[in-house]
């Protein structure tokens, strides 16, 4: 048997992951590996050479999508606001796209039948994203860029602000997925940064007999 060169191996694996992403969205997790292999244009055995079982393939789809999100948080030369804007734009784009919404429907429908798969998805996707975001926010708090708070709470708050209500809307309303809207992302991030802005003790106005009170921590 002729061995594939490294670029060909990489291309084949990439095609399988892309095909799996499309097929899982269209048909759910119950879609056959034969359908994935056919969509990728490879033999079923080739799929198994890369991914021993369907769960492994599903997990890799999730991991790659998550990796793309995490990269946006690693630009240390940028300001915190710039990093969060990049992250927020891509996070909304991925989760609120037709593919992202379809993937969410697929997983939600299969959770009871495949609890281990759902748990694996959570560890590989949402948990990884929240943990990396928490680390970035913790670092920002240590630098005084954000007020001191639970980094985990701060991360979950931002993730909810970015997609929570909108995902429910586009899942159930029948409206088409939204187009990317940088201005909407900017509004969310700026609102978030104002809410977690570091507390600064304000000096009382000397012309007034009433002191200015320090902003209280919620």
Q: What does the pLDDT look like over 55-72, one tens digit per residue?
A: 888 888 878 877 777 787
Residue 9: predicted pLDDT: 52
| C-alpha 53: how far from chain center | 25
pLDDT tens digits, one per residue of 148-163? 999 999 999 999 999 9
Query: What's the Cα-to-Cα distance from 47 to each of 11, 20, 40, 65, 158, rounded to whole Å?
Result: 12, 10, 9, 19, 38
pLDDT value at residue 4 = 38
- How is 73-118 classified by DSSP, letter by letter? T--TTS-HHHHHHHHHHHHHHHHSSHHHHHHHHHHHHHTTT-HHHH
Average pLDDT, integer, range 11-38: 89
Instruction: Count CA within 13 A, CB hemisphere, residue 162.
Output: 26
- Give the confidence band of 5 by pLDDT, cuts at 50, 70, 90: very low
Residue 122 Cα to chain centre, angstroms? 11
Average pLDDT for the chain: 84
Structural domains present in the chain = 1-52 (1.10.10.60), 54-195 (1.10.357.10)
Q: According to the model, what pLDDT value does residue 120 have?
A: 78
- What's the pLDDT at 158? 97
The yes-or-no verdict on residue 113 having pLDDT over 70 is: yes
């Amino acid at each position: 048997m002729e061995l594939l060169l490294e670029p060909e191996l990489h291309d084949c694996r990439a095609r399988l992951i892309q095909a799996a992403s499309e097929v899982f969205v269209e048909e759910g997790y119950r879609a056959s590996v034969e359908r994935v292999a056919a969509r990728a244009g490879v033999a079923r055995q080739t799929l198994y050479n890369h991914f021993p079982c369907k769960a492994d393939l599903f997990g890799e789809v999730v991991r790659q999508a998550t990796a793309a999100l995490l990269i946006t948080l690693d630009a240390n030369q940028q300001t915190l606001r710039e990093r969060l804007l990049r992250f927020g734009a891509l996070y909304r784009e991925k989760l609120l796209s037709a593919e992202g919404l379809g993937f969410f429907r697929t997983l939600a429908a299969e959770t009871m039948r495949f609890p281990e798969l759902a748990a694996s998805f959570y560890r590989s996707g949402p948990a990884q994203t929240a943990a990396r975001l928490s680390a970035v926010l913790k670092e920002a708090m240590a630098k005084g860029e954000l007020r001191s708070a639970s980094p985990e709470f701060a991360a979950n708050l931002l993730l909810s602000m970015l997609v929570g209500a909108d995902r429910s809307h586009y899942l159930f309303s029948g409206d088409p997925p939204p187009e990317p809207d940088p201005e909407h992302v900017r509004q969310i991030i700026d609102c978030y940064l104002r809410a977690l802005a570091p507390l600064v003790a304000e000096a009382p106005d000397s012309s007034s007999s009433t002191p200015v009170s320090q902003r209280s921590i919620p």
